[in-house]
């Protein structure tokens, strides 16, 4: 029953038929306009059900860079609730296996679900006890299939994941987005990082002639520089981040650190020209 008197007395709307059991042709192209409609309260077969959501609590960019002897990743400790800096101690870099780190940007609840999925996979692998362990490229393939499958069901995990690791002496760095697009490269940056940090990372790789000519120290300096630029220009970032380093020796996720920033650059300027 429609409880709003203002809606009474109008001619019956063709595209809403609450007693219909067939799909009504006129619904094509019209998206559902409310959560309750999606959830199915009072909706009949006339509407397609969709799950495609929007991210709620989100993390911003994750960066990754290959260097001589391993991979280094960076992500800040902020989970935003729209424009509110809601959770300021979130670890968006997660150690998955002895030589693999997962970085997550996008919806944080989907990230927590994926962490649970990966933990389950690692436990299964451990229980199988057959001498094999899941290496970084294997975890990457598993994650890619999960993401693509969800996208194909029109119910994506709203994240861009970065997976970095080392297996059999070879370093690995790749990203998978919410549509299930996998992308491997010597430098990875998600979100705003793809616009602000990727040019810097690519330029460094070009001038030095490849990841084999970047030392661990260099890589740390480059990523810190990128995190500084991101803090300056990404309005949903924070000056508190962690670095994850994966080498033959294993995974080290640093304590939260911050970069020096300069805000007095326009001290002598007054006004905006009026």
Partner 1 sequence: MTSRLPQAKGGFNFDNHVRNSAMDGKGLVLPKATKTGTTIVGLIYKDGIVLGADTRATAGPIVADKNCEKIHYLAPNMYCCGAGTAADTEMTTALISSQLELHRLSTGRQARVVTAMTLLKQMLFKYQGQIGAALILGGVDVNGPHLYTIYPHGSTDKLPYVTMGSGSLAAMSVFESRFVADMEREEAITLVKDAIEAGIFNDLGSGSNVDVVVITSENVEVLRNYARPNERGVKEASYKYRPGTTRVLKSSIRDLVTKETIQPTSLEAMDTS
Q: Does 256 bind partner 1 (CB under 8 A)?
A: no
80: left (phi over 0), alpha (psi -120 to 50) or beta: beta
> Which helix (H) or strand (E) element contains residue 250?
strand 250-253
Choice from 100, 198, 239, 242 touching partner 1 (CB under 8 A): 198
CA-closest candidate to residue 47, choices 39, 55, 58, 57: 39
Choice from 71, 200, 219, 246 touching partner 1 (CB under 8 A): 200
Q: Which residue, 137 or 199, is less far from partner 1 as judged by CB?
A: 199
> How far lies 235's CA from each of 112, 222, 263, in Å?
24, 21, 15
Q: Does 199 bind partner 1 (CB under 8 A)?
A: yes
* 52 carries an active-site annotation: yes
Considering CB under 8 A, how many residues would be counted as binding partner 1? Answer: 22
For residues 16 and 1, give the distance between their C-alpha atoms in angstroms, rounded to a whole number: 13
For residues 160 and 192, give the distance between their C-alpha atoms in angstroms, rounded to a whole number: 12
Q: Does 203 bind partner 1 (CB under 8 A)?
A: yes
Q: Does 30 bind partner 1 (CB under 8 A)?
A: no
The minimum distance between CB 260 and partner 1, in angstroms, equals 13
Catalytic residue among 21, 36, 50, 52: 52
Q: Which residue, 129 or 206, is less far from partner 1 as judged by CB?
A: 206
Q: Does 29 bind partner 1 (CB under 8 A)?
A: no
The minimum distance between CB 2 and partner 1, in angstroms, equals 27
Site string for partner 1, 207-246 (x = CB under 8 A): ------------------xx-xx--xx-------------
For residues 110 and 180, give the distance between their C-alpha atoms in angstroms, rounded to a whole number: 14
DSSP notation for 123-168: HHHHHH-SS----HHHHHHHHHHHHHHHHHTT----EEEEEEEEET
Choice from 1, 25, 84, 269 touching partner 1 (CB under 8 A): 269
For residues 226 and 151, give the distance between their C-alpha atoms in angstroms, rounded to a whole number: 31
For residues 223 and 64, give the distance between their C-alpha atoms in angstroms, rounded to a whole number: 8
- Burial status of residue 176 (CB atoms within 10 A of its CB: 0-12, 13-18, 19 or more): buried
Site string for partner 1, 78-117 (x = CB under 8 A): ----------------------------------------
Q: Among the candidate windows 105-113, 124-132, 173-181, 195-203, which touches partner 1 by CB under 8 A?
A: 195-203
Q: Does 266 bind partner 1 (CB under 8 A)?
A: yes
The minimum distance between CB 137 and partner 1, in angstroms, equals 27
> Which helix (H) or strand (E) element contains residue 112?
helix 108-128
Which active-site residues does the annotation give? 52
Would you tell me which residues interact with partner 1 (CB under 8 A)? 192, 195-200, 202-203, 225-226, 228-229, 232-233, 265-266, 269, 271-274
């Amino acid at each position: 029953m429609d409880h709003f008197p203002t809606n009474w007395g109008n001619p019956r709307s063709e595209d809403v038929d609450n007693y219909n059991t067939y799909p009504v042709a006129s619904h094509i192209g019209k998206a559902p306009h409310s959560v309750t409609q999606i959830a199915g309260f009072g909706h009949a077969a006339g509407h397609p059900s969709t799950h495609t959501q929007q991210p709620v609590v989100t993390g911003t960019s994750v960066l990754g860079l290959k260097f001589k002897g391993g991979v280094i990743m960076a992500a800040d400790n902020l989970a935003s609730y729209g424009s509110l800096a809601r959770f300021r101690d979130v670890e968006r870099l997660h150690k998955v296996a002895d030589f693999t780190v997962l970085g997550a940007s996008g919806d944080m609840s989907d990230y927590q679900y994926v962490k649970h999925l990966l933990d389950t996979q690692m436990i299964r692998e451990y229980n199988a006890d057959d001498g094999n362990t899941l290496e970084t490229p294997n975890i990457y393939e598993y994650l890619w299939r999960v993401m693509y499958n969800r996208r194909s069901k029109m119910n994506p995990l709203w994240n861009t994941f970065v997976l970095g690791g080392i297996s059999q002496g070879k370093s690995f760095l790749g990203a998978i987005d919410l549509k299930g697009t996998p992308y491997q490269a010597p430098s990875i940056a998600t979100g705003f990082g793809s616009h602000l940090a990727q040019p810097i990372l690519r330029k460094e790789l070009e001038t030095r002639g490849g990841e084999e000519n970047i030392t661990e120290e260099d890589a740390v300096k480059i990523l810190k520089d990128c995190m500084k630029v991101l803090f300056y220009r990404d309005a949903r970032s924070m000056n508190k981040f962690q670095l994850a380093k994966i080498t033959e020796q294993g995974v080290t996720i640093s304590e939260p650190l911050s970069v020096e920033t300069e805000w007095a650059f326009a001290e002598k300027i007054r006004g905006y020209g009026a």
